[in-house]
Amino acid sequence: MPVSSRPKSARVSAVRAFNRFYTRRIGLLQGGILESPYSLTQVRVLYELAHTPDLTATDLRDLLGLDPGYLSRILRGFEHDGLITRARASTDRRRSVLGLTAKGRKIFSALETRQSVEVERMLAPIAEPAQADLVSSMRTIAEVLGDVALRKKVSLRTHRPGDMGWVMFRHGALYQQEYGWDERFEALVGEIVVNFIRHFDPARERCWIAEIDGARVGSVFLVKETPKTAKLRLLLVEPSARGHGVGRLLVKECIAFARKAGYRKITLWTNSVLDAARHIYIAEGFQMVKEERHSEFGEGLIGQNWELPLYRAKLQSTRDL
């Protein structure tokens, strides 16, 4: 066997080992899901019928990638048990749409509840940080294998207890891993976080946490530098969430809040190696005003100061009138 094929073989073995573990862990090797008379495929068909209106058998086949004959047998069984109905579509009488009966919804609801209870039971003995890592890893697997639907589930919220420790931990761990920055950077982040909490002005300052499916994937702070100038700080996006517009969303939220709070300018300090962040700043209209070498938490670093005047565009449009 050629040497170049060995890593691929190891990866295939690792994926297969994970598949065997996971199917056993969530009970897919049993005859019925959650000790019910229904297989995983049957429950998935019920799920789609419960959550998506006006599905046809063809829609289900394409959505789930099922053999037409196999799906037809499942649907006939559901009809025999009184779980589904068929009706002509109001917009196209040639189409037969499927739906759940009251009995079908009752059975599916019971299965849905039991599945949630089982997952909660599985997660219960796992510490919260490990739960977050688990969910993030699952999301990464889905994204890498082509689940683009996850890109639509980014949400922002303001900070709450526990977030500040996470911000410090993830900045320290992530920037050491990706750029080799030492513990002095984590100390700097800690100082920023502590000052934010101690002197927090809710009318003029904010911390936003980005989440996907309830898991933290990013952060940013806007703090008061002077009465007319705000400072954007601690922009971070987890590797698993990159490419979904999380960083851009966080920066836009900062700018919108700064305008409403009456600031005239936003400043920020970053480093030249942070390419993704720099592209976001440029796209939002920031301009670099100064750069200089430093060694605050690593060697050969170039710090950069950027600024965004908040009312230039507004004043320009007034003159144009």
pLDDT for 174-187, tens place per residue?
999 999 999 999 99
Mode of pairing for the β-strands spanning 229-237 and 206-212: unpaired
Q: Which domain holds residue 34?
A: 3-149
Instruction: Give the model's confidence band at 75: pLDDT under 50 very low, under 70 low, under 90 confident, else very high.
Output: very high
The predicted-structure confidence for 193-219, as pLDDT tens digits, reads as follows 999 999 999 999 999 999 987 889 999
Whether residue 132 is found in the same domain as residue 96: yes
Domain final residue pick, 118, 149, 180: 149
10 class by beta-carbon count within 10 Å (0-12 exposed, 13-18 middle, 19+ buried): exposed
Q: Are residues 142 and 168 in the same domain?
A: no
Domain boundary among 149, 165, 190: 149
Residues 108 and 174 in one domain: no
- Same domain, yes or no: 157 and 136: no
Q: What integer pLDDT is reported at residue 321 of this predicted model?
A: 37
Residues 6+ apart with CB under 8 A from 51: none
Same structural domain, 300 and 203: yes
Tally the C-alpha atoms within 13 A of residue 212's C-alpha that lie toward its C-beta. 30
Whole-model pTM over 0.85? no
User: What is the number of structural domains in the chain?
Assistant: 2
Residues 29 and 161 in one domain: no
Same domain, 155 and 145: no
Q: What is the CATH number of the domain that holds 213?
A: 3.40.630.30
Mean pLDDT, all residues of the chain: 85
Same domain, 37 and 117: yes
CA quadruple 267, 268, 274, 280: dihedral, nearest 10: -40
Distance CA 247, CA 214 (A): 17
Q: How far is CA 155 from CA 165, 168, 247, 318, in A?
A: 20, 21, 12, 34
